[in-house]
Amino acid sequence: MEFVNLILGLLSLLIILFTSPLFAGFINKQKAMLTGRMGPVIWQPYHDLRRLIRKESIYAESASFISRVAPVISFVTVAVAAMMIPIGYTIPLIHFKGDIVLFVYLLGLSRFFQILGAMDIGSSFEGMGAAREATFSVFAEPIYFFTLGSLAFVTGFTSFWDVFHNINLSNPSFIIFIIVCTISAFIMMITECSRMPVDDPNTHLELTMIHEVMILDNAGFDLFLYQYTATIKLMIYGSFLICFLNPFGLSNHALGYVIFAVLTVILSSVIAWVETMTSRFKMKNIPQYLLFAAAIGILNLLIYSFMK
Amino acid sequence: MILIAGFIIQLLSAGLSVALKIQRRQSALVHGMFAAGLLVSVCGTAWMLLGHAPDISLPDFISADPLSLFFLFVIQLVSLPIVIYSYSYTLPYLENRQSVKPFLIFFLNGVFFTQTVVIVQHAVLFLVCWEFMALTSYLAMVFEKEKPEVQKGSWMYLVMTHISVLFLYVFFLSLYAATGSWLFTDYLREPLAYSGYHYLLIIGFIGFGIKAGFMPFHFWLPQAHPVAPTVLSAFLSGIIIKLGIYGILRMLFMIPPAGAAAGWIILGISMFSAIFGVWYALAQHDLKKLLAYHSIENIGIIGIGIGMTALGMAHHQPSLTALGMAGALLHTLNHAVFKTLLFIGSGVIYQKCHTRDIEKLGGIVHAAPVFVMLFVIGSVAISGLPPLNGFISEFIIYLSFFETAAVIPSFYPLFMLIMTVGLAFVGGLAVICFTKINSVMFLGLPRTERPALSGDRFVYAAMGFLAFMCVFIGLYPESVMALIRSVLAVNDWSIPPDYGDIFSSMRWVFLSVVLFMAGAVFMRYFLLKIRPGRVSKAWACGYRRLNPRMQYTASSYADEMNSLAARFLLYRKNEDTPKRLFPEPSRLESHTGDFGEDTLARPLYKVITRIILSLEWLNRTDIRYYVACILIILVVYTWIAFLWNL
């Protein structure tokens, strides 16, 4: 049984690592179709990534060893964080009491080095992107703890696997709780993964970007690592959100994977729809947007503690 | 025995610093001997802390209980690299034929007396040692006394440290009045039959809190740290403020638990200190001032652990008490380690680049990559990121929040959630702050002419040792947890056994992170060997090349976050933005005040000054007049004392 769990845990990790570009491609395809274009094939992110691997790395004159190390560290930490996410009904590779804290701090480490890597060039474009990334993530972390932390307090467990495993849908107040949590977590995903309406991944003006402007001076393999890290991060947060919505308590692995796949498709449509319908916020208004998500988190726990 | 031998070596070398005429060779001798003494005694302390009883009997007023020993261990472990760095710090002065003797005498004696403070168990002796510690560090601080800023900052330190001592006098005298004993062990033995002990707790907390730097008593730290010689700022921030923490913990054990209210008050003050300490830090441009504000943040985090301990004691939950205490003690050690590392780094930068203003630095990484790497390790650790030591202690504090929510129902989960979010917010702010200073100081292009920064081997030895400790405690927290367990065991508290597994599973995660990182970095290096990357110009939006003035500044990096709390940070911006069609000179500068100093201390000071000035009519030139005044006051006192006893 131990061995089977290990294999299934590895399988979850591989699913995250290998299907994450597909998830991104699927969102892009749907976005294109919603705006009446044909759009690229859904395999396009794989092609993009393969092209980037083949290209040579170019470093700016002012770049130091930080630029060479940062993409690698950023990728490794996100990959380790991916080992904590339960997919379907499998026990993740890493689970212990309190791993929800480790998860968010690992992503913090990734961000720390990504910011250093951006600032290494000494260009104000990267500086601007890094400053925005740092500022907005300060608000995203409280949202994380307001959603997952409140779930942890409510269920009494502090590990991803135990929390999601012990969500009890027979209690009606729990359903309201989950719905509100989902909204907060969705906003957090949008912020952390630099999607609309916080950041526009397809813009062409350096001044209006966040994530893209941080990697402006990276090329080749380094750029591949950054882009791949970004898709994995999107997939991690997506699965995280799906875990909220998949609390059926099934012990059937195959069915678990099917439900996971279905919910992934639905989630990608929701993201595509949101990105089509909204435009990017003014940078000045983003903290308000994030504070809104944090505030409904507080409200959520209040509701729960009164209805319990 | 080993410990005592260590103390004797330390005393001898401190004596030598008085006796010898300090030249380069003598300085090496004194520093080397003192460091050897510290090394010997730190081994002795760790040995005793692991449960070996001292083999000679000690008098009543000196005790070796595990809490004292733990703080002794922290002091000795961290003083060791500071003393090694001190040799390198004093070298340029010796080469310029300046005397470093006063500094050396006061600094070494300061280190010695700081150690005595934690092992003395007698109230009067405690106050004497405390005063010695404060005075020697003040005298070492005024090393460069000809500078007006040094006079101002050290004066602030002297005044605040004496206000703190004033509260401590009241605290210990009331304890004596209530119990009739000066010994700490007597306070422990019987519960205090004194109705006013709530007030006593408050007085003690203010007294020790001033020393520790809790908000709103924090404002001496950012004044004193920048002006002190770097050796001493490292010592102040790494160790002396921790004695305030020691005092508060001692007090919590001496006085019966004051109920959950005390815990909540400590938690509130600590959370406030943590959030605004780091927020103030974010707005600073002076490197040492910034690090001083970070000490306030970390004292806040330690205070959160103490608050959880107090809550656990009030609710009789030994598991909770143990977790809170373990978090507080471990963070005390961790903060001492990484803050000292960062301060030594700041000292090297100041000595080589002659500025503490981070906006004037830049591009240091090209000159000194190893130095930058060590500084980055310290920064990652202080931001509480895995896999280094800062994460472990913050993680234990998070666990104590979760534990509280599980064992104490009612409104506790809600407040614990808010504490969790608060701590996460502090972590996020620390990440901004340390990415800011690392990138502005080290990366990019030099903003002024390229500094020829390099440390000598003593600097690298000291910083390397501390960086190694950061990594070691991060990967093997059990090594230090064994010491902390023996502190907890005295009060029959123990961390629940299932928490032991957390550290072992976390170590596997950390080891895998480190191994993956090392493997990936190595692979990247290998790939670059096969197909070397090309070096080209950075994208400058059509300009020919970047120039140093086009870089993002620390002010702009932190501006958005600071503007959010502008009112509280007293954050002011002077900006001239272009208003007409054509480009014209524009600028932005930002300044912060300090809430504690500008809105609390200064008005209070003004009121006191006014009261004193209103008594000016008493001031005469005739000495007989003063003698008469003294006589009248004495008579009044005697009468009061007489009536009191009636």
Question: Is residue B516 domain-shared with residue B572, that is, in the same domain?
Answer: no
Residues of B in contact with A141 (CB under 8 A): 424-425, 427-428
pLDDT digits (tens, 9 = 90+) for B289-325: 899 999 999 999 999 999 988 888 888 888 888 888 8
Q: What is the pLDDT of residue A1?
A: 64
Interface touch A108/B431, C-beta < 8 Å: yes
C-alpha dihedral (B257, B261, B264, B266), degrees to nearest 10: -60
Q: Hey, what amino acid is at B533? A: G
- Tokens 């893209």 belong to residue: A212
Residue B449 has pLDDT above 60, yes or no: yes
Question: Is residue B436 domain-shared with residue B560, that is, in the same domain?
Answer: no
Tell me if B452 is assigned to some domain. yes
Q: Average of pLDDT values for B457-475?
A: 89
Does any CB of chain A come closer than 8 Å to the CB of residue B547?
no
- Tokens 């990366």 belong to residue: B443
Question: Is residue B563 domain-shared with residue B601, that is, in the same domain?
Answer: no
Q: What is the pLDDT of residue B194?
A: 60
CA distance A143 to B564: 18
Interface touch B552/A156, C-beta < 8 Å: no
Q: What is the pLDDT of residue B634?
A: 94
Nearest CA in chain A to B392: A102
Q: What is the pLDDT of residue B54?
A: 65
Does any CB of chain A come closer than 8 Å to the CB of residue B324?
no
Question: Is residue B334 domain-shared with residue B483, that is, in the same domain?
Answer: yes
Q: Average of pLDDT values for A133-154?
A: 84
Residues of A in contact with B362 (CB under 8 A): 122
Take residue B61 and report the two structure tokens written for it: 């007023």
- Quick check: helix, strand or coil at residue B286? strand
pLDDT digits (tens, 9 = 90+) for B7-23: 777 777 777 777 777 77
Mean of all residue pLDDT scores within chain A? 83
CA distance B201 to B216: 17
pLDDT digits (tens, 9 = 90+) for A256-299: 788 888 888 999 999 989 888 888 888 778 888 888 888 887 77
Q: Average of pLDDT values for B365-390?
A: 88
Q: Choose the mutation target among A123, A132, A213 for the interface with B, i.e. most B CBs under 10 Å.
A: A123
Question: HSE-up of B483 (CA within 13 Å, CB side)?
Answer: 24
CA of A33 vs chain B CAs: smallest distance (Å): 33
Determine the distance from the C-alpha atom of residue B419 to the mean position of all C-alpha atoms in its chain, rounded to a whole number: 22
Nearest CA in chain A to B562: A135
Q: What is the pLDDT of residue B22?
A: 73
CA of B89 vs chain A CAs: smallest distance (Å): 28
* DSSP assigned state of A171: S
Which residue from B372, B520, B558 is facing A76, i.e. has the nearest CB?
Answer: B520
pLDDT digits (tens, 9 = 90+) for B325-360: 889 999 999 999 999 999 999 988 888 888 888 888
- Quick check: helix, strand or coil at residue B253? helix
More confident: A168 or B113: B113
**Residues listed for chain B:** 646
Q: What is the pLDDT of residue B257?
A: 63
CA of B214 vs chain A CAs: smallest distance (Å): 23
Q: What is the pLDDT of residue A262?
A: 87
Take residue A191 and report the two structure tokens written for it: 């912020």
- Quick check: helix, strand or coil at residue B551? coil
Q: What is the pLDDT of residue A307?
A: 62
CA of B306 vs chain A CAs: smallest distance (Å): 21
Does any CB of chain A come closer than 8 Å to the CB of residue B404?
no
Nearest CA in chain A to B500: A97
More confident: B435 or B192: B435
Question: Is residue B567 domain-shared with residue B605, that is, in the same domain?
Answer: no
pLDDT digits (tens, 9 = 90+) for A26-73: 888 998 888 888 888 888 889 988 888 888 888 888 888 888 888 888
What is the ipTM, given to two decimal places? 0.91
Given pLDDT bands bounded at 50, 70 and 90, which one contains residue A131?
A: confident
Task: Look at chain B and report how many structural domains it folds into.
Answer: 3
CA of B427 vs chain A CAs: smallest distance (Å): 8
Interface touch A123/B548, C-beta < 8 Å: no
Residues of A in contact with B398 (CB under 8 A): 98, 101
Exposure string of B461-496, with b = 16+ CB inside 10 Å and e = fewer, is: bbbbbbbebbbebbbebeebbebbbbbbeeeebebe
Question: Is residue B379 domain-shared with residue B521, that is, in the same domain?
Answer: yes
Q: What is the pLDDT of residue B298?
A: 92
Question: Is residue B502 domain-shared with residue B633, that is, in the same domain?
Answer: no
Q: Average of pLDDT values for B53-64?
A: 70
Question: Is residue B288 domain-shared with residue B416, that is, in the same domain?
Answer: yes
CA distance B86 to B459: 9
CA of A35 vs chain B CAs: smallest distance (Å): 31
CA of A217 vs chain B CAs: smallest distance (Å): 6
Query: Residue B295's domain spans which residues?
Result: 257-527
CA of A226 vs chain B CAs: smallest distance (Å): 14
Tell me if B419 is assigned to some domain. yes
Task: Give alpha helix (H) positions in B283-317.
Answer: 287-314
Given pLDDT bands bounded at 50, 70 and 90, which one contains residue B597?
A: confident
Residue B40 has pLDDT above 60, yes or no: yes
Nearest CA in chain A to B429: A138
Does any CB of chain A come closer than 8 Å to the CB of residue B55?
no
Tell me if B446 is assigned to some domain. yes
Residue B258 has pLDDT above 70, yes or no: no
Report the share of chain B in percent with pLDDT over 90.
13
Which residue from B435, B502, B512 is facing A97, i.e. has the nearest CB?
Answer: B502
More confident: B160 or B6: B160
Q: Choose the mutation target among A100, A109, A177, A299 for the interface with B, i.e. most B CBs under 10 Å.
A: A109
Residues paired with residue B587 on neighbouring β-strands, in sequence order: B576
Tell me if B570 is assigned to some domain. yes
Interface touch B541/A119, C-beta < 8 Å: no
Which residue from A68, A97, A132 is facing B524, i.e. has the nearest CB?
Answer: A68
Backbone dihedral angles phi then psi of residue B579, each to the nearest 5 degrees = -110, -20
Give yes or no for a contact between B495 and A97, defined as CB atoms under 8 angstroms apart.
no
Mean of all residue pLDDT scores within chain B? 83
Element (H, E) at B512: helix B498-530
Residue B254 has pLDDT above 80, yes or no: no
Does any CB of chain B come closer than 8 Å to the CB of residue A142?
yes
Q: Which of residues 180-219 of A touch B (CB under 8 A)?
A: 206, 216-217
Take residue B202 and report the two structure tokens written for it: 């408050």
Report the share of chain B in percent with pLDDT over 70.
95
Given pLDDT bands bounded at 50, 70 and 90, which one contains residue B645?
A: confident
In this structure, the number of other CB atoms found within 10 A of the CB of residue B498 comes to 10
Residue B51 has pLDDT above 90, yes or no: no
Question: Is residue B570 domain-shared with residue B600, that is, in the same domain?
Answer: no
Inter-chain Cβ pairs, chain A and chain B, closer than 8 A: 236
Given pLDDT bands bounded at 50, 70 and 90, which one contains residue B195?
A: low
